[in-house]
Chain A
Amino acid sequence: MALFLSTPILGFIRSFPQPAKSMLILGLAIVLSTMSMAILAPYVAPYDPTSRVYIEFQPPTWSYLMGTNHVGMDVFSRIVWGSRVVLFVVAASAAISMAFGVPLGLISGYYGGLVDRVLSIIMDSIYAFPSLILAIAVAAVLGPSPLNAAISIAIVYVPTYYRMVRGETLKVKQMPFIEALIVLGCSDATVFKSILRNITQTILVVFSLSVADAILTEAALSFLGLSVTWPTPDWGLDLRSGQPHLLNGYWWISMCPGLMIIALSLGFALIGEALSDYFSITTKV
């Protein structure tokens, strides 16, 4: 938090033109409040998320902000604790896919040749495939658990990072300062570092937009029963288990976690949109 409040970052936010500035601020507000909710879960959640605290199907009241579910658990407490699962899975998957996608993209774009051609064909084929179906297939084989969900999501987004980094590397590689580094006899590692520093903006935009998408993929996996198991609080799982009761008119059990999924995804999407406006980067994620 201290990092975000430091003046250079505030100055950076101020330098955004409208409407990108409003989008960035709204996005940051959503993402940061969800993150603090996850970190402070034991203090924010009024009740134990996995035990019965009141009668079933209690509509929202002041003591039960989002009502209770079909077994009398507090929906709000479940949402607070559930944010931990979503953020863990999404952070882990982003880290894994970046760890593979960024270096492979750099190598492919910088060296070209056969490696580049083979990698590109493979990545393009994965990219063309329905990402959700791929994630489901992987998660189904790995078995249901948050870490496995993270791995399946990571595989899906490797090509996204790869394609973007490769394209940018091809562009940056031709700039005079890179040629200068090569002529000066710098090692490949130094050149890579320099290229990387020049494509951070792109990586940042791709990161925000693909995380927005990854949140939906995570929700989809847990909606389909491929992440955590009941009664662990999780937004996608709660959405699924609340569906039969929605059709009896108890909307809060499923709609509250459902709207949280959309809100968090929207938060990252807004940040991504604002950043791509600011850096004037056009992306197709």
Chain B
Amino acid sequence: MAGLSRYIVIRASLIVPTILILYTFVFILLRVLPGDPILAVVGTRYIPPAQLEEMRRMAGLDKPILVQYFDYLLGVILRGDFGKTLASPVGKPVSEYLWERLPATIELTIASFIVASLIGFITGVGGALRRGSRLDTLIRIYSILTYTLFIPVLGMGLQYLLGLKLKLFYISGRLSPGIHVPKVTGLLLLDSLLAGDLSAFTDALRHIVLPSLTLGIVLSGAYTRLIRNNLIEVLNSDFIRAYRARGIPDHRVTMYAIKNAFIPVVTYMGLQIAMLLGGAILTETTFSWPGLGRFIYERIEYRDYSSIQGAVILFAFIVGLMNLVVDIMYALIDPRVKY
């Protein structure tokens, strides 16, 4: 395993430039774009120039741009400091909001990922094993359709049918009022189980079903397509023919094929994470889910530029980290990866 830990260290050090480029890109973008963030917060109200200067100083916008760049970066890395909010309430550390909101997004993302991979696995394997059948055509249409499903429309449709008409699930929020779960991880499903509170667990579950189903369905199409195409390719490969020639039963051959078809799927998960986080903004807004995405939406209304910057940069760090995790998983699954 010494080789593997070396591989992880090398991979981890390669992630640093990716994160730095993302940070630099977001930083430059937010500054070279026309539009003064302070004036955007102020809007049409009259604010004395002295107070404007004070706001500018608080946001760190009065310093030279290079100083701003390193100040912010060091603040984020060393102290987890993402600057201060510019609007209602003014001057609160952005990081407080970010840490408060992050668990909700993580919980939603994990749940949606499970939904997406389950649906993708079933439809993808189904399509590949019955290639060319009517079922396969239906599955192919499904995968194109999910590509164009607009998250709020699907979410609102599910809210209307499963929430409003059938009353099976809750349509917004994470927990019913009056229910309290002691905070350990911030993931309500996990925390309620840790506390042994089964009624809180079912309540949280009935809240997360619709948002995770929405995001999961939208992302599942990509998995369907990927698993189907990979499996078809593997089923046609020489080693499968060799297994068959040796008289190994069909269901076992299929199992081998599925195992091999999964390797590229893992790489794709890295790309999916970006889509998952992007989709989270719309899902959280549609379902009033109090995560990072909804936080960005709320801050847009206040034109609170420093909060938006903080959340976007946190997202950049998460994307970089998750790509590292995927790389390591890839190395563990595929023995051909050299380390």
Contacts and interface: CB of A to CB of B under 8 A. Distances in A.
A joins B in a complex: yes
A130 interface: yes
Contact of A129 (B274, B296, B301, B303): B274
Contacts of B149: 262
Query: Quick one: which of B149, B152, B277, B296 has the most chain A CB within 10 A?
Result: B152
Contacts of A262: 148-150, 153
Interface string B16-53: 01100110011001100111010010000000000000
A129 B171 CA distance: 29
A220 B297 CA distance: 11
A184 interface: no
Contact of A226 (B22, B147, B278, B300): B300
Interface string A259-279: 101100110011001000000
Contact of A243 (B22, B137, B150, B156): B156
A39 interface: no
Interface string A128-156: 11111110111011110000000000010
A128 B159 contact: no
Contact of B279 (A122, A132, A134, A143): A132
Nearest to B33: A141
B171 A269 contact: no
B305 A132 contact: no
Contacts of A155: 29
A220 B148 contact: no
Interface residues of B, number: 53
A212 interface: yes
Interface residues on A, range: 35 or more
B319 interface: yes
A89 interface: no
| Listed residue (A134, A259, A261, A265) with the most chain B CB atoms within 10 angstroms of its CB | A134
A270 B144 contact: yes
B235 interface: no
A246 B274 contact: no
Contact of A224 (B40, B297, B316): B297
B254 interface: no
Contact of A133 (B21, B33, B305, B315): B315
A258 B152 contact: yes
A165 interface: no
A259 B22 CA distance: 35
A283 to B, nearest CB: 12
Q: Which of B29, B30, B34 has the most CB of A within 10 A?
A: B29
A204 to B, nearest CB: 18
B315 A130 contact: yes
Contacts of B147: 212-213, 269
B25 A122 contact: yes
Contact of B160 (A19, A219, A246, A269): A246
A129 B153 contact: no
A220 B150 CA distance: 8
Contacts of A132: 278-279, 281-282
A195 B278 CA distance: 35
B274 A131 contact: yes
A216 interface: yes
Interface in B181-228: none
B312 interface: yes
Given A219-B150, A247-B171, A249-B164, A131 B278 contact: yes
A64 interface: no
Contact of B308 (A121, A137, A216): A137
B323 interface: yes
Nearest to A122: B21
A72 interface: no
A122 B21 CA distance: 7
Contacts of A96: none
Nearest to A23: B144
9 contacts: A122-B25, A128-B22, A130-B319, A132-B282, A137-B312, A138-B33, A142-B34, A240-B152, A246-B156
Interface of A: 19, 121-122, 125-126, 128-134, 136-138, 140-143, 155, 212-213, 216, 219-220, 223-226, 239-240, 243, 246-247, 249, 251, 254-255, 258-259, 261-262, 265-266, 269-270, 273
Given A128-B319, A142-B34, A224-B281, 19 more contacts: A126-B25, A128-B323, A129-B25, A129-B274, A130-B315, A133-B296, A137-B309, A138-B29, A141-B37, A155-B29, A212-B148, A223-B152, A224-B297, A224-B300, A243-B286, A247-B159, A258-B153, A269-B144, A269-B147
